[in-house]
């Protein structure tokens, strides 16, 4: 565990705690969630589509405006089109990569509607944050290029990959923008309800490229306090 990771995790935990502790007279929400994301293709190939798991906390500033902080975990943040260092299959695969997403978001809630006797509220949200990638058991991993493409039939020496090499270093961090919306069904069982989000996410500085993806998550939402 790197010092940068410890610092970021501590800051995220602090932000979530502050959101929960401040404005106690206002409503506070805690939203553990899970879902999926589908990254777009870039010149470096395509990051593997995979699951996303996180927690979000928010507090209402008035009847409609909500301030949220979130952190999410991406377990397999690797280039699905990147071959092993020996492209023909006789080598050791690239190290695995996992990532943390962390955001600060503003949300506009359109008010509650009564559906089958329960409060349902649609909302839109947008925010900014970061994505930090961590390479498992190594200092870096190839996003594209690197390794060897075979052996010289005469000398038997490995032939280096002549293509462009793009390297992801451990703890590399990228700016992110997210935007979207969703719906909440609140207080279905005491303080517990359900929430679903559908959003887009853009990473404008992905090694000189722009990468984006749709992201869908859902889970239970716990609500306390008055709006």
Task: Give me the CATH number covering residue 111.
Answer: 2.40.160.20
**The two structure tokens encoding residue 82:** 């990147």
What pTM was estimated for this model as a whole? 0.80
Owning domain of residue 45: 3-224
What pLDDT, on a 0 to 100 scale, did the predictor assign at position 86?
A: 41
Phi, psi of 78 (to 5 degrees): -130, 160
Distance CA 198, CA 220 (A): 15
Instruction: Give the chain's domain count.
Output: 1
Phi, psi of 40 (to 5 degrees): -80, 165
C-alpha distances out from residue 9 to 1, 6, 55, 132, Å: 11, 5, 13, 11
Distance CA 6, CA 136 (A): 16
With CA atoms as reference, report the closest residue to 204 among 122, 109, 131, 96: 131
Query: Within 13 Å of residue 123, how many CA atoms lie on the same side as its CB?
Result: 25
What pLDDT, on a 0 to 100 scale, did the predictor assign at position 160?
A: 61
CA dihedral 131, 39, 70, 193 (to 10 degrees): -170
Phi, psi of 25 (to 5 degrees): -75, -15
pLDDT in tens, the chain (227 residues): 454 555 565 556 556 655 555 545 568 899 999 999 999 988 877 888 999 999 998 888 888 999 898 999 999 888 765 554 444 344 445 678 999 999 989 999 997 766 666 789 999 999 999 999 999 888 888 776 665 555 667 776 766 665 567 888 998 999 999 999 999 998 899 899 999 999 999 999 998 899 999 999 999 999 887 66
């Amino acid at each position: 565990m790197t010092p940068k990771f410890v610092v970021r995790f501590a800051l995220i935990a602090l932000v979530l705690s502050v959101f929960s502790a401040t404005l106690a007279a206002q409503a506070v929400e805690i939203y553990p969630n899970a879902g999926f994301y589908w990254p777009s293709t870039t010149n470096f190939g395509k990051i593997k589509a995979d699951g996303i798991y996180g927690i979000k906390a928010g507090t209402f500033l008035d009847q409609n405006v909500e301030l949220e902080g979130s952190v999410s975990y991406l377990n397999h943040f690797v280039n699905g089109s990147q071959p092993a260092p020996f492209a023909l299959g006789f080598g050791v695969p690239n190290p695995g990569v996992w990532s943390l997403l962390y955001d600060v978001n503003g949300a506009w809630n359109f008010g509650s509607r009564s559906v089958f006797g329960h409060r349902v509220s649609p909302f839109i949200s947008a925010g900014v944050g970061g994505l930090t990638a961590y390479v498992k058991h190594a200092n870096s991993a190839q996003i594209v290029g690197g390794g060897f493409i075979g052996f010289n039939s005469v000398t038997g020496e490995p032939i280096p990959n002549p293509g462009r090499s793009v390297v992801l270093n451990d703890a590399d961090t990228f700016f992110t923008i997210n935007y979207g919306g969703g719906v909440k069904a609140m207080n279905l069982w005491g303080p517990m309800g359900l929430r679903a989000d559908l959003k887009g996410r853009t990473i404008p500085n992905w090694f000189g490229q722009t990468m984006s993806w749709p992201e869908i998550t859902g889970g239970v939402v716990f609500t306390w306090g008055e709006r």
